[in-house]
Amino acid sequence: MTDAKPLAGKTALVTGASRGIGAATAKALAEAGAHVILVSRRVKALEEIEDAIHAIGGTSTIAPLDLTEADSVARLAGAIGGRWDTIDVLVLSAAYMPDLTPLSQVDPKQFNQAIMTNLVATQALLAAFDPLLRKAEGARVIGLTSSVGSDPRPFWGAYAATKAAFDNLLETYGAEVERLSPVRVAVLDPGATRTEMRARAYPGEDPETVKPPETVAARIVELVQEDFPSGHRERVD
Whole-angstrom distance, CA of residue 120 vs CA of residue 94: 12
CA torsion 25→185→165→220, rounded to 10°? -20
Cβ neighbours of residue 187 closer than 8 Å, sequence gap 6 or more? 143, 145, 167, 170, 171, 231, 232, 233
Is 159 catalytic? The answer is yes
Of the residues 96, 159, 173, 202, only one is catalytic, namely 159
β-sheet bridge partners, residue 96: none
Does residue 121 sit in helix, strand or coil? helix
Whole-angstrom distance, CA of residue 179 vs CA of residue 29: 27
Whole-angstrom distance, CA of residue 215 vs CA of residue 89: 18
22 within 8 A of 94, measured Cβ to Cβ: yes
- Identity (one letter) of the amino acid at 232? H
3-state secondary structure string across 131-167: HHHHHCCCCEEEEECCHHHCCCCCCCHHHHHHHHHHH
User: Catalytic residues, which ones?
Assistant: 159
